[in-house]
Amino acid sequence: MITEVDAALRAMVRAALGGAEADVVLDAPTTEWAARRNAPTVNLYLYDLREDLRRRTRGTIETRTPDGVTRSHPPRYFRMSYLVTAWTQRPEDEHRLLEVVLAHLVQHEVLPDHDLVLPPGADPLVQLLVGLPPPEDRGFADVWSALGGELKPSIDVVVVAPLAVRPGPATGPPVREPLVLDARDVVPDGGADVGRRKHSPPPRTEVTAPAGAEEPSAPASPKARARRRR
């Protein structure tokens, strides 16, 4: 996920710069890095990565394949925050680079031309947010202090991308044929279930009384029993 988003953002910045000679990197803009830089550069530094808990859902998602049905959890969405800065010998040139990049990024509300492999159930549109304030628990001054550098003009870019949760094992191929009951080995007499889709029970046999025995009489009705008592 992170690698594909990195590549998509770098492609967008290169498209914004056109034929301008400037490097597009993903390095941490520390003091040591700035001292080694020797060419105009646009830096895309991933400084924060956290889950978007508002988009977490429960349940399972069923995916049917030729090998069976796979059940997986819904994907989780993560907010990837990038600090976009420009580095040249003069502040005026840095501002021009930032302006060109900003004008191109704000034209897109979703990440275009990405190579992300979207998990089942994921939103096909990868959200792109440009120029939003940083998270409440982290300011840009804190980021620059952690990097050991001085505060510079920057663009905050956030990409909300889905991440697949490992699916469970396949539960078997889907049923495509009706049930066929074959009971030739368990119904020895009279069963007619060979290759049948509906069970046919064996024929009923009448129970006959032994020779000389009286046939069982039918039970007397309530009226007959009352007459006998009289």
Domain residue ranges of the chain, discontinuous segments joined by +: 2-46+82-155
pLDDT tens profile 41-51: 999 999 999 99
Let me know how many helices (H) and strands (E) the chain has, helices first.
Answer: 5, 7
Contacts of 88 (CB under 8 A, 6+ apart): 40, 41, 94, 97
The pTM for the full model equals 0.67
pLDDT, residue 169, reads 57
Q: Strand 41-51's sheet: what is its strand order? A: 23-25, 41-51, 76-87, 155-163, 127-130
Specify whether the CB–CB gap between 183 and 191 falls below 8 A: yes
Cα–Cα distances in Å, from 36 out to 33, 86, 211?
5, 15, 116
Sign of the alpha-carbon dihedral angle for 125, 126, 131, 135: positive
pLDDT tens profile 108-150: 999 887 777 777 777 788 999 999 877 666 677 888 888 887 8
